[in-house]
Amino acid sequence: MDPLLPINMPCEATTKQVIVILGPTASGKSALALSVARKIGAEIISADSRQIYRELDIGSAKPSRDVLREIKHHFVDEKSIGEPFTAGDFATEAVQRIQDIHKRGKAAVVAGGSTLYLEGLLEGFADLPAADPVIRARLLEEMEREGKEALFERLRQLDPDQAGTLDATKSQRLIRSLEIIEITGRPVTALQAEKNKRQPSISYTSVALSMPRERLYERINRRTDEMIEAGLCNEAEMLYHRYHELLECGKTSALQSVGYQELFQYFQGKIALPAAITLIKQHSRNYAKRQLTFFKNRLNVNWITAPESNDELEVLANRLSGTR
């Protein structure tokens, strides 16, 4: 059995405990969270930066309509593409939702894999400097002139830990990371290490799902095939035509995520469909690796073996919920 803090451990009377289930993509977070929520009568806080958008269904691995009717999910289908919603917004609003859930006498379960969402909720954010328009404009010009890979390599030299949590495609975070370094003269990870944990009225018990890397990659590849069979190409094509202008301007990060950006390249005639599917699998595996790096380096969580059968899921859900 994995070491795991008991979910019903004593805590101060002023605190309310919340189970947080995190892990890399395709590790089984949603299924476990749903099973736990059913056992303890909880509502689920989705810590997934794509599920909040109404237009992203298949590619975001959003819960089915039946599941959403059965269990209340927060931050699912609440925004439309183009509406801003940051990790800071999530951290603030998630605490408010959790407190409201507790006032109504119910429990809350947080589940997801969006790294900054989880960090903001569990650890709070450092007091980072405001954007500097001059520095940002120069960095954007350098990116246009030298390419994203050159700036990513610069970040890798200056702040390897931060670079390990993203790649050159995450241009907004890349620019922001370099901007902070120029303003403060310090790496982002050093500043984040000084942050103070917030929300003292909420106590989090966080578990991260782990499995052998090759098994995780098998699950990622299989889920990609299942998404394609479920109609991901049609969903992406609809988004491509509806939000073509936003895509051209690069103004929406939601559409630059794995599973969509590769199919957009196919619609643009840059690659064939089989190549796009192969890239989705590859980029998903790369994303999972970055998630694992982030969770291990930036969050204090309990690592447990991910369930791979219904029986194992039931046993783990019972352990988390304090039932037998």
- Confirm or deny that 82 is annotated as ligand binding: no
DSSP letters along 225-250, please?
HHHHHHTHHHHHHHHHHHTHHHHHHT
- Confirm or deny that 27 is annotated as ligand binding: yes
Rounded distance between C-alpha atoms, residue 237 and residue 219, angstroms: 25
- Confirm or deny that 289 is annotated as ligand binding: no
Backbone dihedral region for residue 231 (phi beyond 0: left; psi -120 to 50: alpha; all else: beta) = left
- Neighbouring CB atoms inside 10 A of 272's CB total 11
Rounded distance between C-alpha atoms, residue 211 and residue 23, angstroms: 10
Give the C-alpha distances (Å, rounded to integers) separating 117 from 50, 88, 123, 150, 255: 11, 8, 10, 27, 18
- Confirm or deny that 25 is annotated as ligand binding: yes
Which amino acid, one-letter code, is at 24?
Answer: P
- Confirm or deny that 148 is annotated as ligand binding: no
- Neighbouring CB atoms inside 10 A of 182's CB total 15
Give the C-alpha distances (Å, rounded to integers) separating 42 from 17, 113, 191, 302, 321: 12, 19, 35, 21, 10
Please enumerate, by residue number, every residue annotated as part of a binding site. Answer: 23-30
Please enumerate, by residue number, every residue annotated as part of a binding site for substrate. Answer: 25-30
Please enumerate, by residue number, every residue annotated as part of a binding site for ATP. Answer: 23-30
